[in-house]
Amino acid sequence: MTNPFFEAWTTPFGAPPFDAMQAEHFKPAYLAALDSHRAEIAAIATATGAPSFDNTIAALERSGQQLRRVDMVFSQLASAHTSDDLQAIERELAPLVARHWNDIYLDPALFARVDALYQQRDSLGLDAEALRVLERYHLDFVRAGAKLTADERTRFGAIVERLAVLGTQFGQNVLADEATTVFALTEAEVEGLPEFARAAAAETARERKLNAPYAVTSSRSSVEPVLHFARDRATREKVWRAFVSRGGNGNANDNHQVIAETVALRAELAGLLGYPSYADYKLADSMAKTPAAAQALLEEVWTHGRQRALEDRDGLQQLIAGEGSTFPLEAWDWRYYAEKLRLARYDFDENELKPYFELDKVVEAAFYTAERLFGLSFSLRDDVPVYHPDVRVWEVSSGGKPIGLFYGDFFARASKRSGAWMTSFRDQSRLMGDVLPLIVNTCNFNKPAEGEPALLSLDEARTVFHEFGHGLHGLLSNVTYPRIAGTSVVRDFVELPSQLYEHWLEQPPVLARLTHYKTGAPIPEALLARMKAARKANTGFQTVEFVSSALLDMAYHARGPGEGDVGAVEAETLARIGMPREIALRHASPHFGHIFSGDGYAAGYYSYLWSEVLDADGFKAFDEAGDPFDPATAERLYTYVYSAGGSRDFAEAYRLFRGRDPQIDGLLEQRGFVTAPVEAGGA
């Protein structure tokens, strides 16, 4: 059997030949790639000559190309279009891959070479980028246990392997709950849903082959329209309960034991490295530096957000009373009555915007923004293989020269996990020639019926811009070394390019391109005025559901080894912060994939808020210039944020772009919380 991973890829740009890939190709490809990388690492570690930057650090950067190729493709398929076969491979290979990287970072001979270079780094004559790469490699090794004793290294490696297994299990459990939970709905149960939501629910019923006119699953994209618009309160409740209990239903997919073991192992791992908690370990390599700094920001915003939410709660309860009902507001009621309150206060119905937010036009508007800011152009390619028929690919060029490919995978399906994310099939670098990036954006919008346009909500349109901001961070990367390319930055900086990009969606030149999908008419000025007036509506709810989740993340990971009952953390945290009964966590523990399906955002979910300090303050630079596309400001943004990857200290990068440290008042103003300007404390 021919395996495409053992052949050169002759596709455009050397893109993955998905049309030639089968599930059975991945295991042999992984095993061969691991063997190849192992041999490359052994050659570096046992080299007889004195260590040099080229024969050690650059050699590490050049190694593992085969492994990166298979891993990047498999990781996206396992998230965006998985199957029973792929999930079985994922479970089998997760500990093997974790062990492989353990063996590298815990190799005493290899670390001795890296450490020797680090100790003499000031005398090596390295340029700034190479010095940064050396420093990051040394830190990577130290944080991965390279300085531990032999016995400690053995235990550290076992923990990392087990955490890889647990993270895989957690994510697969949530996906299984979402895939198997489906509600068949009657005409009466979908009363109140706008046409777009009814069409999506009808499409779900057809896909699931149900003998019912409509259906919804427990995934966010399916649930949200019901919670916002379904008039039948019992329908809202049953859908909401399924939504918030994903991964915690006491069945074979239950994640509670996975969480308990994960939290305990992370605390032990941090203790081995000399940190009092996993949060201390994770934040040591971040802009925040300490859990106390992250906690202070969260609590500052929590105070404002909770107060606003309580005020809105009273307004929602009054609406219920005004309808002649006496039931107390519940969490499954909030979104429904918040829509009514927004309409009453601002005469703004977000559904009025949907005809102007056709997916293709929103994507084109995101491209237009990149053209104005960075001089990019985009052309659709139908000759690049894709892993699902819904995926589209664009060639991205600058100055008439290709700089990469952009894949857009926008629609929800049973084989895709919830959420939205950016990833890559290949990262930019110049070390081994001019390697162009292959960047992917994945979303979960409801797919329309055949022949109908996909119409987005304002929040979904923001998601397109958000993820494309991440995409640009990968596409515009302009560095030599893979280790610091694109989004290879600390967690509380990585959301800056994405959240900042959201601001351009509501700029007049961009909105002017979002015309009615039927008539071609622009968005009426009166509707835009009402949209802007309502911008801060329901920010209390949004703040509470997010910040409570971030505080829960910190509570799990600020614990020392063996401290307290992990099972009680969520309840204790919500009681301590005074969580309003009528609002649920954005991510309850059993489906909090950001922090438990891997360690990427573990003790780091706060980073969205930290980055919001940066993005709210950063966009003011364009306001101050009087032009959302001011060339000088855009050039600084490109140079110090989008193209620089991890090539310099991140606080320094922000200062070079903005001219000063960030201030928190922009975030508070953005959310409608009035306060005097306050320094962000190094955010």
- pLDDT at residue number 196: 86
* Positions in the chain whose pLDDT score sits under 50: 675-683
Active-site residue (options: 178, 467, 570, 582) = 467
Under 8 Å CB-to-CB from 257, ≥6 apart: which residues?
Answer: none
CA distance 449 to 196: 9
How many C-beta atoms lie closer than 10 Å to residue 384's C-beta? 21
611, 492 in Cβ contact below 8 A?
Answer: yes
Nearest 10 degrees: Cα torsion 552, 558, 562, 565: -20
Domain residue spans of the chain: 4-105+107-147, 181-244, 276-348+537-601
367, 501 in Cβ contact below 8 A?
Answer: no
Q: What is the CATH number of domain 4-105+107-147?
A: 1.20.1050.40
CA distance 435 to 61: 13
Query: Which amino acid, 138?
Result: H
Q: Which CATH class is domain 276-348+537-601?
A: mainly alpha
What residue has token string 């190849």? 36
Sign of the dihedral through C-alpha 574, 579, 581, 585 = negative
Q: If DSSP codes are grouped into helix, strand and coil, which group holds residue 647? A: coil
456, 445 in Cβ contact below 8 A?
Answer: yes
402, 395 in Cβ contact below 8 A?
Answer: yes
Measured CA distances, 210 to 186, 191, 243 (Å)? 12, 19, 20
| Residue 467: active-site member | yes
Do 4-105+107-147 and 276-348+537-601 have matching folds?
A: no
Helix 108-119 × helix 128-143 angle, to 10°: 140
- pLDDT at residue number 674: 64
Under 8 Å CB-to-CB from 593, ≥6 apart: which residues?
Answer: 170, 171, 174, 417, 418, 419, 587
Q: Give the DSSP H/E element, type plus range, for residue 421.
A: strand 421-426
- pLDDT at residue number 535: 87
CA distance 257 to 94: 19
- pLDDT at residue number 123: 97
501, 612 in Cβ contact below 8 A?
Answer: no
472, 638 in Cβ contact below 8 A?
Answer: no
CA distance 315 to 321: 10
The token pair at 96 is 């093997």
| Closest of 101, 637, 42 to residue 369, by C-alpha | 637
CA distance 421 to 513: 25
- pLDDT at residue number 502: 98
Long-range contacts formed by 336-341: CB under 8 A, 24+ apart:
336/227, 336/228, 336/229, 336/230, 336/231, 336/236, 338/312, 338/537, 338/538, 338/541, 339/228, 339/229, 341/312, 341/315, 341/316, 341/537, 341/538
pTM (predicted TM-score)? 0.93
SS3 of 129-192: the string is HHHHHHHHHHHHHHHCCCCCCHHHHHHHHHHHHHHHHHHHHHHHHHHHHHHHCEEEECCCCCCC
- pLDDT at residue number 678: 42
